[in-house]
Structure 1
């Protein structure tokens, strides 16, 4: 680590550095970021922070946090901000239990103006800061750093419209690297600010073509001109879209040139009466050759420094099982279409996209749009599958109700990262999906205990004429738990995995292996514990649950969802309706708390839904 970095305790410490020293500092910070992420087990958002080094340095030279407010959209790119705001000595704890969050966090530092983890929030939060500042007659700057990927989020445009309407004094930096996690999609991202909506641009292009094509070799000249299409666009169109929204537009500028960034920020810092947008062109992974070459892989780590895993030792993830399984379904069912909101790689769909480019649709960071698009596809006669993380499905909940459930449309929700997700922490936990889906009429809610069950549930969902949600966890897929002898399942039917006469553990999803281990431990103490794989949180297998309750002294439910509104509450309600409520001994699941970042095993231990925690709670319930 260099002396320049070690001497930095706040953004104020870089104010006296020369331009050459700032360039060296940028290089040193990039080397440090690679070291930190690699030493941390390659758990971290590397490429985004590499691409935002100069923007962050320039911001902290011109603005003074925490007095001035810098809001980061998504927060992937905020590692340098953490280094410059007194957290350098804790960067080695990034995304670890008890350590620094991988995202801006108001509890962690006063310099983090707004907590974040999802895309599209910074502009709306900035609007709130602008209104609050002006109502309280305070004086500070508000800056929102927004990636171009976040512009596919509808809330971003709602905020832009509002800011332009009120003339809010805010500076928006558009960090345009043409990529969020997966490459950005949609007309908004192909053009960003260069939209072909200006009549002046169209008239200019028509007249220009007339003039050029009348020259000797004019057609060839015109073809050359079209290959240089950015030139005429940048002459006329660049600010047109933003002008219509009420913004003063500056750019595009080189987002890796600190001098240009600083001079631009200085010139607009004290503008009043109109919001300002600075369009900065950057490269994700900038300054590290391997990260620039593959920004998708380096999004979450130093992939080029990882030790290769031999194919025989590599376990398939649930995401990969989903991708492979839905791929086989697509081969035999031409009606199946897969939709994902900017999560092709994360959802295991990369290969399927290559195989069926027209039937795997990435709609960008637009979860509500993804769900309603799926509803429209279903209404048209197709069989849509929405591949989405649990934490992001929350953003499309209104569409799930209004556009899918109310019309009872056959949309399949493949919900990845359900339960506890690990290092991404509090903003990404998938702890609530059973709760908010179980209450919806006609919604099927299922969770597999292993890889074969996930495949079987997908086949079952494809044949179902109504909404169907399948939730599964992040990480390596469990094998040989469900005992499926074929791929046929029935909706609302569970199975007994282990017989017992004293007590029954009724589990669903990823906790089933732990339930089996707990039952084995109790067997050593001469307690006979049955284990039931419920498979479905809705509809419940009332026949099986009733039978197992009668045959044992009581039942305990186990899940990796919130206890509030979860699977356990459903079983309790069922037994109470049957006047068998006394047979319900307790529910084990995620307690009423926000679970912080750490490994999945650490989080399961904290929530007491690992083997040891389940055993301890069962003991408490039966004593």
Structure 2
């Protein structure tokens, strides 16, 4: 295993945050509300290190669990933090993962587990990719098999530990979860607090603000909201709340005038999230305030640095190593990432469309760079709008822009479409607004697990009247699909998978139903294999396997190009075939194949029965993390699995 260059060892030591001049501060708002200011048990009274010339602390072993952590003297905590950072770097250099967020919450997570007794006092991590340190402190110090099949999940996972309560990888839900747990505990007569850890970026999401509003009205709540303010999600946080937090950090807000106090919550902060002593004091104050039955919830405002302690992450202006693949610990990073990706192709197509039509406006839900909008933002920043982690807001903003004469495009990860399905259905489709959605990471994505597989989008889209959907099989078809979507009235979707583009798959011929990729047109079709999207290469390989085994069998592989709405020509072709197989990397029971099966079945009569039809796709279940190819093979969606299904029809 590669080691960090000893000459750069100081990068593993997170010094106090320079944005809090004069050291950590506990707000006078908290003094005004009368919450006691006492250090947590075992907290050191020694001032936090401030001078850059001071030697970094010696490393300390990672304790076996929260009980052992609480028994450590406060003087051991800086060394423990240094060990945790080094371990994070070593593990993520091998496996990849969400490195930047976890480097930023090392001291915070230590403080949480010293003050609150997990799991009896649950700690809910919003966007749970920041829970690596939590896992390391709750018996999983080495994160064995991180993000690999059968190994440690990159998110909290109830199957791994009682300390992992909420997978919660879609942002902004943690406050509602923690408040609900607190209410359940109070109704059961149980003691103790419930804690939500939420970033300033996640607070741009509507459900987070809704939960704060509800929490403020619940006098007697023992919910503690820890706002991890690192000024970023992927990119710098946007909006009025971000400006308000900046004013709190700079001391420009008068005591008691913060928005949290105005709602009726107890506000503590801002506090340096890398200062062990300040954290211990703040968490102890939060507990005292939470136990005061005359108050509603408590907000602890911590200021942290994403990527803290690792120079390459802290200096990365794009996303401070929010997520990374494997990398070299010494010197330059390892092999460069692929540049011809689906995302880069999408970004180029959107930029071309914007150059061609001044009405084109792009909207991002806090993910400008991950969804490919950086080229457009650099060239025409006034036409790229970031609304924060708020997909519902993004789609409704797009609806308004469309009604006002613009041509909006909303690039999202496919997994996040579900957060705005109501807006897709009743704001865009009902009103026939001309809005293009692009869905990155569609289908099986792999390492991030059940909440990040984009396998639900086709099933959702197939229920929306008037929606047009493209699932291009390669990068060239993606470049063609985007302008086609802009030229089509009503809402449109272009969806594509994660990673590098495959080699181009040219059409053998074109017919009204779509592109023929393999088989013999003009002769009876034994099997019509309808391939949706990026699985086309596997479909062709499977068809050729069958034709080698049975030379007289005609397997016709068809890419309909435009997957929704289903064209009459496709339904005609399917109804006339001897058998039909559909292939898609979405839920088999609810997607394109299911829709085609219904259309073909409604034509059938006793005298003219429908052909046997198989819908190949993902089983309707939550698929655990593993490599994409392994998951596809397990689901029977590799070439061998598809060929086996074909054999079952024709043997």
- Give the TM-score taking structure 2 as reference length: 0.85
2:306–2:320 contact (8 Å) kept in structure 1:
no
Equivalent pair of 2:508/2:515 in contact (CA under 8 Å): no
Q: Secondary structure at the match of 1:157?
A: helix
Q: Which residue of 2 aligns with 1:463?
A: 487
Residue 342 of structure 1 is matched in structure 2 by 366
Q: Does 1:426 align with 2:450?
A: yes
2:130 equivalent to 1:77: yes
Q: 1:610 Cα shift? A: 1.5
Is the 1:453–1:482 contact (alpha carbons within 8 Å) kept by the matching residues of 2?
no
Q: Which residue, out of 25, 50, 55, partners 2:80?
A: 25
Is 1:576 aligned with 2:629?
no
Q: Does 1:247 align with 2:265?
A: yes
How many residue pairs get aligned? The number is: 578
Contact 1:452 1:482 in 2 (8 A): no
SS in 1 for 2:615: strand
Contact 1:431-1:590 at 8 Å conserved across structures: yes
Match of 1:523 in 2: 547
Q: Which residue of 2 aligns with 1:207?
A: none
2:198 equivalent in structure 1: 146
Which position in structure 1 is the counterpart of 2:23?
Answer: none
- 1:310-389 to structure 2, matched below 5 A, reads 314-389=338-413
| Counterpart position of 1:561 | 586
Q: 2:181 pairs with 102, 121, 129, which one?
A: 129
Superposed displacement of residue 7, structure 1: 5.4
* Per-residue Cα deviation, 1:327-372 (whole angstroms, up to 9, x for no partner): 1111111111111101111111112210110111111101000000
1:298 is aligned, of 316, 321, 327, to 321
**Residue matched to 1:179:** 232
Q: Identify if the C-alpha distance between structure 1 residues 407 and 581 changes in structure 2 by more than 3 Å, giving closer, same or farther.
A: farther
Distance (whole Å) between structure 1 residues aligned to residue 176 and residue 368 of structure 2: 27
Following superposition, the deviation at residue 556 of structure 1 comes to 0.7
Q: 1:183-238: per-residue Cα shift (whole Å, max 9, x none)?
A: 2111211222748xxxxxxxxxxxxxxxxxxxxxxxxxxxxxxxxx934x14x056
1:244-290 CA-to-partner distances (Å, cap 9, x unmatched) read 21111111011000111012211231332321111111000011111
Using the TM superposition, give the Cα deviation of residue 517 of structure 1 relative to its aligned residue in structure 2, in angstroms: 0.6
8 Å contact kept, 1:418–1:471: yes
Equivalent positions of 1:221-300 (< 5 A) are: 230-231=250-251, 233-234=252-253, 236=254, 239-271=257-289, 272-273=292-293, 274=295, 275-294=297-316, 296-300=319-323
Q: Are the structure 2 counterparts of residues 297 and 499 from structure 1 closer, same or farther at C-alpha, using a change threshold of 3 Å?
A: farther
From the superposition, tell whether residues 3 and 244 of structure 1 become closer, same or farther in structure 2 (CA, over 3 Å): closer
Alpha carbons of 1:363 and 1:572: their partners in 2 closer, same or farther (altered >3 Å)? same
Shift of 1:502: 2.5
CA offset at residue 325 of structure 1?
0.9
User: 1:368-417 CA distances to partner (integer Å, 9 max, x unpaired)?
Assistant: 00000000000000000010011111101111122111100000111111
| Matches of 1:77 and 1:140, distance apart in 2 | 24
After TM superposition, give the deviation of residue 27 of structure 1 in Å.
0.8
Shift in CA distance, 431/250, structure 1 to aligned 2, threshold 3 Å: same
**2:114 corresponds to which residue?**
61
Which deviates further from its counterpart, 269-278 or 247-256? 269-278
Q: 1:14, CA displacement in angstroms? A: 1.9
Q: What's the counterpart of residue 536 of structure 2?
A: 512
Distance 1:581 1:63, change over 3 A: farther
Which moves more between the two structures, 454-463 or 154-163?
454-463
CA-to-aligned-CA distance 1:513-545 (integer Å, 9 cap, x gap): 110010111121023311000223321132144
Deviation at 1:464, TM superposition (A): 1.4
Q: In the aligned structure 2, how far is the partner of 1:238 from the partner of 1:386?
A: 39
Shift of 1:144: 0.8
Q: Match for residue 547 of structure 1?
A: 573
Seen in structure 2, the aligned counterparts of structure 1 residues 173 and 47 have a Cα distance that, compared at 3 Å, is same
Distance in 2 of aligned mates of 1:560 and 1:567: 10
Aligned residue for 1:605?
633
Report deviation, 1:240.
2.6
Following TM superposition, by how much is the alpha carbon of 1:19 offset from its aligned partner in structure 2, in angstroms? 3.0
1:506 Cα deviation from its structure 2 partner: 0.7
Q: Structure 2 matches for 1:526-537, cutoff 5 A?
A: 526=550, 527-537=553-563
The secondary structure found in structure 2 opposite 1:427 is coil
Match of 2:18 in 1: none
8 A Cα contact 1:426 1:597, kept in partner: yes
Residue 308 to residue 53, structure 1, CA distance change in 2 (3 Å) = closer
SS in 2 for 1:174: strand
- The counterpart of 1:494, out of the listed 489, 514, 519, is 514
Structure number with higher helix proportion = 1
What secondary structure sits across from 1:582 in the alignment?
coil
Separation in structure 2 between the aligned mates of residue 484 and residue 243 of structure 1, nearest angstrom = 67
Q: What is the CA–CA distance in structure 2 between the aligned matches of 1:493 and 1:266, rounded to whole Å? A: 67
Distance 1:548 1:146 in 2: 50
Q: Which residue of 1 aligns with 2:244?
A: 191
Does the CA contact (< 8 Å) of 2:539 and 2:557 recur in 1?
yes
Question: Does residue 160 of structure 2 align to residue 95 of structure 1?
Answer: no
Paired position in structure 2 for 1:204: none
**Rounded Cα–Cα distance in structure 2 between residues aligned with 1:484 and 1:47:** 46
Is this contact kept in 2: 1:145–1:172, CA < 8 A? yes
TM-score, normalization: structure 1? 0.89
Mark the runs of 5 or more structure 2 residues left unpaired by the alignment: 4-56
User: Given that residues 285 and 298 in structure 1 are in contact (C-alpha distance below 8 angstroms), is that contact kept between their aligned partners in structure 2?
Assistant: yes
CA–CA distance in structure 2, aligned partners of residues 343 and 622 of structure 1:
47
Separation (CA, whole Å) in 1 of partners of 2:229 and 2:76:
25
